[in-house]
Amino acid sequence: MKKIWWKEAVAYQVYPRSFKDSNGDGIGDINGVTSKLDYIKDLGIDVIWLSPVYKSPNDDNGYDISDYQDIMAEFGTMEDFDRLLAEVHARGMKLIIDLVINHTSDEHPWFVESKSSKDNPKRDWYIWSDDPTNWESIFGGSAWEYDKETKQYYLHLFSKKQPDLNWENQEVRKALFDMVNWWLDKGIDGFRVDAISHIKKDLTDVFDPEQKLYAPAWEKMMNVKGIQPLLAELRDRTLANRDIMTVGEANGVHVGDIEEWIGEKDGKFNMVFQFESLGLWDTDERTGINVPKLKEVLTRWQKGVEGKGWNALFIENHDKPRVVSTWGNDKEYWRESATAIACMYFFMQGTPFIYQGQEIGMTNAPFAELDHYNDIQTHNLYHNNLAGGMAHEAIMTLLGAKSRDHSRTPMQWDASFNAGFTDAWPWLMINPNHNKINVAAQQQDPRSVLSFYKQMIWLRKQMAVLVYGTYELYDVGHEAVYAYTREDENEKVLVVSNLAQFACDWDAPEDATLLLANYEDMDSTQLLPYEARVYKLTK
């Protein structure tokens, strides 16, 4: 087995706005991240993925970029970024950054020019049309915005302040590739590539008055035929022949597509974030997780990618509510469910990603009013549902389960008034449970969620089988228990997680050594609610 650093790495996602405020304006910033690098290193992290810090008017919190080669003033300066990069490297870690190239901000000079007149040389850098289609934006409403001055519509798959770039235009690609190489030359260690399965559009649709006014058009704007040559050009002109790590955000990419996306021969990225297990969240978020479905999806990816590419493992990010509140039980079994779900995904074959706060079991927040939410998608969801006739209370309940802001509340460093995040009024409410759930309290406690994460990371680094070994689903005769083995020539490990809030019968394997557990007193005939264990089996 060829050893590859990004396969052995454990990655940690930082959402800078909510991580640590260094200058008392209530907004997390780059120097704040730098000040917490020892914490991240101590956790055992090898790679940090930093969500966007580029210059941006913040319509979508930095995912709407107005200058790719400058830093958002609220976050600091390019010197701050360079220092962050140097400090990450000084600690033996790597830094990958978000690459948002499906769209820019409408305040990007390219779009300002493009919009200025129909015959501007950059008109064709974005997607303009006389006839909009019925496409719905991913953030709700029409995906087309009318420009009164030039009397045409432009396409925006996300917010109307995020116009889509026209990847069919060679000059656009060249400008993007130059920018990507500029960052790589600076010495960053790779990219998480945002919304990359959307860069190719099938624009043959026409407006259909018989259809719903706006309808999702996934098959026309996600992993569309013809996307591969564009991705290959991105790879060949920027990413290739560099010792970097790339992970594409790949909605609509299925196991059958992996040779082209992440295959060792013809892949365009090292790995992708697949969306199939995220789909389970949307349907099951208020009833816990459907374990049989989860097993089916994750096993399909584990076996489908094996020997061909590499998986990115994750259960949280800045676009989803907190996993302990959706898949787990953030009340009676908060610690147990946070650790059992962690154990379930962390030891699969792939590179594990941890989203900030996940390692201390941060939960969804009790947002009481619409005004307490910040996220554009959340506000659009509210207004579109209201217009559609849904009652205020019902929408608030929906947002209480689903909003992206649940994962964006500030990091809970300690029990003090502002959770050690800031001295000022925070940009987004701090979860009141920070008096119990916080880093400082958990660092002292060997049984905390944080200590469990440290043990998992430590264990993965001790055993090559946990990185490179093959995965097999292991049937313990109970639907709610997710069990699997990892095996290589030398070793075999069994990972068992009861993902239900009731006890399950089970037979502990004989001749097995316990490596890790989230309960202290263990029974060999049953698993308690959300009990998780990792065993080394004799081969």
Scanning 14-22, 37-45, 271-279, 461-469 for contacts with Ca ion by CB under 5 A, the matching segment is: 14-22
Residue 288 CA, chain-centre distance (Å), reads: 20
Q: Which of 21, 145, 164, 194 is catalytic?
A: 194
Give the interface size with Ca ion as a residue count (CB under 5 A): 5
Q: Which one of Ca ion, ligand GLC, none is in contact with 319 (Cβ closer than 5 to 8 A by kind)? A: ligand GLC
Cβ at position 313, least distance to ligand GLC in Å: 17
Q: Which residue's Cβ lies closest to ligand GLC?
A: 63
Cβ atoms 223, 167 nearer than 8 A = no
Active-site annotation holds for 369: no
d(CA 351, CA 46): 11
Distance (Å) of CA 73 to CA 16, 62, 80, 182: 13, 11, 11, 20
Scanning 21-29, 137-145, 299-307, 388-396 for contacts with Ca ion by CB under 5 A, the matching segment is: 21-29
* Residues forming the site for ligand GLC (CB under 6 A): 60, 63, 100, 158, 194-195, 249, 318-319
Q: Which one of ligand GLC, Ca ion, none is in contact with 487 (Cβ closer than 5 to 8 A by kind)? A: none
Name residues whose C-beta falls within 8 Å of residue 238's C-beta, 6 or more positions apart in sequence.
177, 180, 181, 184
Cβ atoms 400, 382 nearer than 8 A = no
Does 80 contact Ca ion by CB under 5 A? no
Cβ at position 318, least distance to ligand GLC in Å: 6
Beta bridge partners of 128: 154
Which of the 8 DSSP states describes residue 320? S
Of 23 and 290, nearer to Ca ion (C-beta) is: 23
Of 197 and 518, nearer to ligand GLC (C-beta) is: 197
Does 21 contact Ca ion by CB under 5 A? yes
Helix axes 376-387, 392-402, angle to 10 degrees: 150
Does 72 contact Ca ion by CB under 5 A? no
Helix axes 291-305, 276-284, angle to 10 degrees: 170
Active-site annotation holds for 59: no
Instruction: Dig out the tokens for 189 from the structure.
Output: 């260690």
Please provide the distance, in angstroms rounded to a whole number, between the alpha carbons at the two ends of the chain.
Answer: 19
Does 106 contact Ca ion by CB under 5 A? no
Q: Which of 60, 106, 145, 249 is catalytic?
A: 249
Of 19 and 111, nearer to Ca ion (C-beta) is: 19
Cβ atoms 512, 533 nearer than 8 A = no
Of 222 and 476, nearer to ligand GLC (C-beta) is: 222
Cβ at position 376, least distance to ligand GLC in Å: 8
In the three-class reduction of DSSP (H, G, I as helix; E, B as strand; rest coil), residue 459 is classed as helix
In the three-class reduction of DSSP (H, G, I as helix; E, B as strand; rest coil), residue 443 is classed as helix
Does 35 contact Ca ion by CB under 5 A? no
Residues carrying an active site annotation: 194, 249
